[in-house]
């Protein structure tokens, strides 16, 4: 069995690799424990596997948590919420009733009623002992995606920001239709960069130790892909499938079906900016550069 990482990111934050089914190259989702004293919360308990339950329980115990105050969700994709039911039944729940699950209202359609979800607006602050956790609405990967700043008592800058699937230490993250919005994604990256935190806790993979540089790389990647979409349309009007083949000429057909959703997210942004026009009535095009 592969050894999974439990890493202390900052004074009050631990990262836990939870094995799950997710998009390659990853085989895990990062759950996070935020704790002060014997009280804590978990962010994104994403796996329903027994191994993940054991790892998360050990991480809570290692952080000294005896009372689970809440479960925070960056978004509701299955690889980020799969472990919620088991966690709500865990030994860390000592109150006699499950703690609240926190998420953004735009994710409500994917949340079971029995989770007793409390919806977080942008800027809402939760406390864990003397630690402040602020919810930031950072859409782009999904409409209700949240990031969480973690700031200790007296801190002027966050000691860490937990960013879910908005960023990764390597590669890129998924931004595609129907839930992804490239314009929102770029705005959210700018917002994270302005926070000045020394570390970002990503939804998958290693922590991001140079946030400003990495966020700029992720933004540049999206802008480069946008330029490729425009260049593809400069060759002539095309539907989504043909644009995707022009942008990804060496990719197998099995990959192109997924890539097409990302291409369409870029096309949607370009249409809002009046750089591309939609010809006809089919949602998949054809599309053309506006002349």
pLDDT at 96: 62
Section 90-96 average pLDDT: 64
Reported as type and span, the H/E element at residue 198 is none
Section 161-167 average pLDDT: 98
Distance set, CA 228 to CA 3, 75, 173, 245, 246 (Å): 40, 29, 18, 11, 9
Q: Are 268 and 177 in contact (CB under 8 A)?
A: yes
CA distance 261 to 174: 10
pLDDT at 91: 65
CA distance 147 to 134: 8
Tell me the per-residue pLDDT of 213-250, one tens digit each, with 9 for 90 and over.
999 999 999 999 999 999 999 999 999 999 999 999 99
Sign of CA dihedral 180, 221, 242, 250: negative
**254 — pLDDT class (breaks 50, 70, 90):** confident
Q: What percent of the chain has pLDDT over 70?
A: 97
pLDDT at 208: 97
Q: What is the dihedral of CA 223, 197, 75, 3, to 10 degrees?
A: 100
Section 238-267 average pLDDT: 94
Q: Are 107 and 81 in contact (CB under 8 A)?
A: no
Encoding tokens for residue 272? 């809002």
pLDDT at 39 over 90: yes
Q: What fold characterizes domain 6-209?
A: Metallo-beta-lactamase; Chain A (3.60.15)
pLDDT at 34: 98
CA distance 242 to 230: 13
CA distance 128 to 151: 10
CA distance 48 to 53: 7
**What does pLDDT average to over the chain?**
93
Section 39-68 average pLDDT: 92
pLDDT at 92: 63
Three-class SS state of 169:
coil
For residue 15, the 8-state DSSP code is E
Encoding tokens for residue 1? 């069995």
Q: Which stretches of the chain are assigned E, i.e. beta strand?
A: 6-10, 13-19, 28-36, 39-43, 67-72, 101-103, 117-119, 125-128, 131-137, 146-151, 160-164, 200-202, 276-278, 287-289
Sign of CA dihedral 81, 86, 91, 95: positive
45-49, 90-94, 226-230, 270-274: which has the minimum mean pLDDT? 90-94
Give the predicted TM-score (pTM) of the model: 0.94
pLDDT at 189 over 60: yes
The number of angstroms, rounded, from the C-alpha of 252 to the middle of its chain's C-alpha atoms is 27
**3 — pLDDT class (breaks 50, 70, 90):** low
All CATH 3.60.15.10 domain ranges in the chain, comma separated = 6-209
pLDDT at 183: 98
Three-class SS state of 215:
helix
pLDDT at 164: 98
pLDDT at 253 over 90: no
Section 45-71 average pLDDT: 91
Tell me the per-residue pLDDT of 113-143, one tens digit each, with 9 for 90 and over.
889 899 999 999 999 999 999 999 999 999 9
Q: Which CATH number fits domain 223-289: 3.30.420.40, 1.10.3470.10, 1.10.10.10, 3.40.50.720?
A: 1.10.10.10
pLDDT at 24: 77
All CATH 1.10.10.10 domain ranges in the chain, comma separated = 223-289
Q: Are 203 and 74 in contact (CB under 8 A)?
A: yes
CA distance 289 to 285: 12
Q: Are 117 and 129 in contact (CB under 8 A)?
A: no
The residues with which 238 forms a beta bridge, in sequence order, are 287
pLDDT at 6: 87
**94 — pLDDT class (breaks 50, 70, 90):** low
């Amino acid at each position: 069995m592969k050894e999974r990482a439990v890493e202390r990111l900052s004074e009050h934050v631990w990262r836990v690799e939870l094995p799950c089914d997710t998009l390659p190259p990853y085989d895990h989702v990062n759950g996070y424990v935020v704790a002060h004293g014997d009280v804590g919360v978990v962010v994104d308990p994403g796996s329903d596997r027994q191994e993940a339950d054991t790892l998360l329980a050990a991480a809570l115990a290692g952080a000294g948590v005896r009372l689970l105050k809440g479960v925070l969700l960056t978004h509701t994709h299955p690889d980020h919420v799969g472990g919620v039911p088991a966690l709500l039944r865990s030994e860390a729940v000592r109150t006699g009733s499950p703690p609240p699950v926190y998420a953004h209202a735009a994710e409500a359609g994917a949340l079971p009623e029995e989770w007793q979800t409390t919806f977080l607006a942008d800027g809402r602050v939760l406390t864990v002992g003397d630690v402040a956790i602020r919810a930031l609405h950072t859409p782009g990967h999904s409409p209700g995606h949240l990031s969480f700043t973690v700031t200790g008592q007296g801190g002027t800058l966050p000691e860490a920001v937990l960013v879910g699937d908005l960023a990764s230490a390597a590669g890129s993250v998924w931004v595609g239709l129907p839930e992804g919005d490239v314009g929102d994604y770029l705005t959210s990256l700018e917002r994270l960069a302005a926070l000045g935190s020394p570390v970002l806790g990503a939804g998958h993979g290693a922590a991001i130790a140079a946030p400003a540089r990495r966020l700029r790389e992720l933004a540049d990647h999206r802008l480069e892909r946008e330029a490729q979409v425009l260049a593809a349309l400069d060759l002539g009007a095309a539907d989504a499938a043909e644009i995707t083949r022009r942008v990804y000429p060496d990719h197998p057909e099995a990959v192109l079906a997924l890539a097409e959703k990302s291409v369409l997210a870029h096309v949607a942004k370009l249409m809002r900016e009046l750089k591309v026009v939609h010809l006809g009535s089919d949602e998949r095009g054809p599309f053309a550069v506006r002349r």
